[in-house]
Amino acid sequence: MTRFRFTVEYDGRPFMGWQRQAHGPSVQGAIAAAIMDITGETVEVFASGRTDAGVHAHAMPAHADIEKTITPFRLMEAINARLKPQPVAILDCAEAPDWHARFDCTGRRYRYRIVNRRAPLTFDAGLAWRVPTPLDADAMHAAAQRLVGRHDFTTFRSAQCQASSPLRTLDRLDVTRIGEEIHVVAAARSFLHHQVRSMVGCLKMVGSGQWSADDLAAALAARDRDALGLNAPPDGLYFVGAIYPKLSVGFTL
């Protein structure tokens, strides 16, 4: 039995999310089906995180245990061939004994893309959130720092969240403008269900002048989902990297 580590990229639009679902296609299911076709084995594919329906990934670490003797390169090529035409690709594959994609992960990073323009999206439709009204990225970044640190994030947590505690330590929440795009980068050991999207939605309200930084802080302090201003759509959210002891998978942001 060999454990293989994968780095996975995918466009989340056709999927119900990473995790296998009974009511629709999943990224996990697509990769497991490809491995079954190659090896005849039923495998469980574990990932460092679980993205929601419509959320994308640039560099999602994952692993699977396979009995068949095969080199990492041949396995990667075979999986990619069988994933077509689904928008999923294995970017890298290596043997990884004594390594677990989920339980060994000590940090996760997401990036959210806002396209701040009047014109509709063409190439980026479904891959970014278009906000037509002008946004003040500097005000958004300043307000975002009120969320950094260890807090009760109940306000920014989905009602369907299954985490045992709403307490999370947010290591980084940066907002930058690059031309007509605004990027929000969030880093933490782990996130609650919808936490990043909920934070981005409220930061958009700050950027448009609907909320102040104090309003954002008050929403956090309320510890009440009803205090949430706005939940951003999944379109602009990307899993971009994970941190492991002696290993970093993803982009430097």
Q: Which residues are catalytic?
A: 52
DSSP 137-176: HHHHHHHHTTT-EEEE-GGGS-TT---S--EEEEEEEEEE
Rounded CA-CA distance 157/155 in Å is 6
DSSP 13: T
State how far the alpha carbon of 125 is from the alpha carbons of 4, 113, 221, 236, in Å: 34, 12, 35, 10
Rounded CA-CA distance 63/58 in Å is 16
Task: Reply yes or no: is the peptide bond before residue 85 cis, omega within 30 of 0.
Answer: yes
